[in-house]
Amino acid sequence: MVKNVGPLPRIDDLLERLGGAKFFSKLDLKSGYHELEIRQEDRYKTAFKTRYGHFEWLLMSFGLMNAPATFQAAMTTEFRHMLDRFVLIYLDDILVYSRSLDEHVDHLLTVLERLRQAKYKVNRDKCKFARQELEYLGHYVTPQGIRPLADKIKAIYVWPEPTNTTDVRSFMGLAGYYQRFITGYSRIAAPMTRFQSPKVPFVFDDDARRSFQALKMTMLMAPVLSIYDPTLPTRVTTDTSGYSIGAVLEQHDDDDWHPVEYFNHKVSLINSIDDARMKELLAFVRALKRCRLFLLGRRRFTWVTDNNPLTYYKTQDTVSSTIG
């Protein structure tokens, strides 16, 4: 069987579409993958044998290699004229978002009519309608921004101390999912991430223990992240320390600066011993690449750094290949 390499949407990309929305509805398809019929000539590929006989799937089942990509493509095609305007699709999760209640009712009716025409059924018990705060793809979405789910943060906070590499990987998988909410994540997590390498013997020392507890506390205090608005003043603040570089993208409303996303990156040993100017500039270049979808096309944004000697580079025609 040839693997369908069509990617699923990035969750961060989906959440960034919600700027300005004040009302949200979430629809859950009742049968999921079973909504799609398998072509007759392909059914033999799904064959399985039991003591009751030989069977083939007529509808697409869970567990098939190409099921997620195929289902995502089908849903994207079905809602192609609504996507990123007032509808987001992630597999069988459909999110409808609007700027006003009247507009939201119209959007909902349009989506439900499209589902009716396509003969897709929704699970009414799992649907949420016209909410101003909603759980979606591991986050709470609100008019003010997005934040991690409370039960996920609680799970991180009560997580027992790891006793082996598998425990570390499980913990870091959950914590890493929310790293965009944490300033200095790579620096804080460094003593833990080294255990994910099979070449590093597992010795949960004091450095690892401090890292483990620090991650718990920072997750507990994770801020609400604003959703990017291209009309607001924007700044990028960079910082470097040890083996990590970091940045925060912020925007200013009528009141104050609010974080949109924290970015952290672990640098290689060769970069970690460079002079402070080069490392700070490397942090800025990395931040530009990470935030390019926000910053491209802006007439102006501000770079904030505490490294005054960086003005040296303004007099240079070229920079190191490390930075380039």
Name, of 135-144, 189-198, 235-244, 313-322, the range with top average pLDDT.
135-144
Q: Give backbone dihedrals phi and psi of 37, rounded to 5 degrees, phi first.
A: -90, 140
Predicted TM-score (pTM) of the model is 0.82
pLDDT at 313: 62
Which residues have CB under 8 Å from 244's CB, separation 6+? 184, 186, 187, 190, 264, 265, 266, 267
pLDDT at 316: 65
pLDDT at 260: 94
- For residue 21, pLDDT beyond 90: yes
Token pair listed for 62 = 């869970």
| Residues 60-89: tens digit of each pLDDT | 888 778 888 888 998 999 999 999 999 999
Q: How confident is the model at residue 318 (pLDDT cuts 50, 70, 90)?
A: low
Number of CB atoms found within 10 A of residue 262's CB: 21
| Residues 190-245: tens digit of each pLDDT | 899 888 887 888 889 999 999 999 999 999 999 999 999 888 999 999 888 767 78
Q: How confident is the model at residue 265 (pLDDT cuts 50, 70, 90)?
A: confident
Least confident of 96-110, 114-128, 134-148, 306-320: 306-320
Average pLDDT over the chain, rounded to whole? 87
Compute the distance between CA of residue 140 and CA of residue 156 in angstroms, rounded to an integer.
17
Please name each of the domains of the chain with its CATH number: 11-132 (3.30.70.270), 147-220 (3.30.70), 234-315 (3.10.20.370)
Q: How confident is the model at residue 102 (pLDDT cuts 50, 70, 90)?
A: very high
- Choose between 33 and 107: higher pLDDT: 107
53 in Cβ contact with 122 (< 8 Å): no
236-264 average pLDDT score: 88
Q: Give backbone dihedrals phi and psi of 14, rounded to 5 degrees, phi first.
A: -65, -45
Number of CB atoms found within 10 A of residue 23's CB: 22
Compute the distance between CA of residue 210 and CA of residue 188 in angstroms, rounded to an integer.
9
| Residues 171-191: tens digit of each pLDDT | 999 999 999 999 888 889 989
Name, of 5-19, 163-177, 192-206, 240-254, the range with top average pLDDT.
163-177
Nearest to 136 by CA among 11, 8, 7: 11
pLDDT at 108: 97
